[in-house]
Chains A and B, each alone.
Chain A
Amino acid sequence: MNAAAGLDFAGIPERIQSEVQRAIQRSIKGVEYFSTSGPTLGSTPKDVLRSRGTMSLYHYRPMSDEIYRVPVLIVMATTNRGYILDLVPGQSFIEFLLRRGYDVYMLDWSAPRPEEKSLRMEDYVLDFIPDCVRRVQQDSGEQDVSVIGYCFGGVLSLLYGSIFQDGPMKNLICFTTPIDFREMKLFSNFSDRRYFDVDRLVDSVGNVPPEMILSSFEMLRPASRTVSQIQLWENIWNDEFVKSYRMFDRWATDTLPLAGEYFRTITKDLMWDNKLFNDTMSVGGRAAKLEDIKVPFLHAVAEHDHIVPYEAAKHLIAKIGSQDKEEVMLKGGHVSLVAGANAVKRLWPKLDSWLGKRST
């Protein structure tokens, strides 16, 4: 080794050989990349129990010999597809829950139709979720239902739980759920009421187009898309990297439009007036206060979440009225908290340990 220069000359030929091999592999795999469609996502066997426009309720077929008494209803964020929680076998949160003995249902969303532009927050909180909960009760034969909400699905679950405080929700789990919208600094600035005319936008376009939602997510880290493409090219010889890239890239760009009236309420009540945080939120004239949620509660947040920074989520645990409540901060980002190799080791076992005890 040349100590002065810090270079290992003996290792250079080996390194060059390795890089040449990778360059050849890149060319071969690069052609493969563009000629194949990537892994099939969301393939855990399921039945559609209910489908009404933008709303779908799935029941996943059990994978264990006995299951917990209390079924689990997952409420997905309205901006994205639920298959992030069901990527591929071995990296599927749904499959994990089924193998651990949970009876799993998912409230998932598809793109609202043009005529669904008039869907309001009331439709989501006072109709869609209660309708799904009733259907879960009928299908499972159980009165109690545990609810898991991811991101904005968590906000909807909080609103539901605070309004329907007498049940049948038995446990509530939120993943990366914001309540203090002032702390979502960039989103807050993008929707600054002095410059953002939400009425004009909604009245012009009806449903808010997915390109707009995707752009606002991507603007949070504007260089990251380009860098991820550079990383893809560097690692295109690595099948596991490519598989993972394709899964997450496909999901991230598969953004849903938002129903216009619903978006108007999110902007005015949450982004502008921060009503959930200020305890002044109401849905369809019914007060939604977090202190009214008394069921066992778990909030999982990500240490490096750039979409929902911890500052926007941290007050939730204090505001919830439950005695039995816990916040857990885990390494990872907004998506890697719930999906992918890190989630398998971190969030999923923690959730199983917390929920299993409360599901009998």
Chain B
Amino acid sequence: MTDKINDPVAMWQKMVGEMEKGFNTFANQAMSSPEFSQAMNRAGGVAAGAQKQLGELMEKYLVSMNLPSRDQVTGLAERMQAIEGQIAEIKSMLSHMAESSGLSQGSDTAVRPPRTKRPPSGGGEQT
């Protein structure tokens, strides 16, 4: 029988685990310094500025080509999602109205169970 002491696979897994912990600890210490924050935010600020400028440039280019930009396509997709949401909401309202007026049919509008449940006596944790 092999155990964890002499199992090379288990030893490898343990080593990987230890390396992960060690690297994370080391990196966390390095990232806790004000110098790291300064460098990270300087790079981030430059990237955000560049991203904004590039976005604006691309937008102008796409407008000149009479093509929709990514934002516009995303906007359309999200409008579609919003319309779907509104339809779902209307459907739910209709189901609710049908339920209140006793016209319910199907799983969407099934009569809800009574709100009479009591916790199990004894109050012990259930598993």
Interface residues of A (CB under 8 A from B): 6-8, 11, 15, 19, 45, 47-53, 56, 59, 61-62, 64-69, 100-101, 103, 110-111, 113-114, 139-140, 142, 185-186, 189-190, 192, 194-197, 200-201, 204-205, 212, 219-224, 227, 230-231, 234, 345, 349-350, 352-353, 356-357, 359-360
**In the assembled complex, which residues on chain A have CB atoms less than 8 Å from the CB atom of B96?**
139
CB <8 Å contact, B75 and A67: no
The chain A residue sitting closest to B72, CB to CB, is: A114
CB <8 Å contact, B75 and A114: yes
**In the assembled complex, which residues on chain A have CB atoms less than 8 Å from the CB atom of B127?**
345, 349
CB <8 Å contact, A353 and B32: no
Q: Select one of B34, B89, B120 contacting A356, CB under 8 A.
A: B120
Report B46-84 CB contacts with A as 1/0, cut-off 8 Å: 001101100000000000000000010011001001101
**In the assembled complex, which residues on chain A have CB atoms less than 8 Å from the CB atom of B8?**
15
Q: Select one of B37, B42, B52 contacting A189, CB under 8 A.
A: B37
- Tell me the count of chain B residues lying within 8 A, CB to CB, of chain A: 65
Interface residues of B (CB under 8 A from A): 1-3, 5-9, 13, 16-17, 19-20, 23-24, 27-28, 31-34, 36-38, 40-42, 44-45, 48-49, 51-52, 71, 74-75, 78, 81-82, 84-86, 88-89, 91-92, 95-96, 107-108, 110, 112-120, 123-127
The chain A residue sitting closest to B123, CB to CB, is: A357
Overall SS of chain B's interface: helix
CB <8 Å contact, A353 and B125: yes
The chain A residue sitting closest to B95, CB to CB, is: A47
CB <8 Å contact, A19 and B113: no
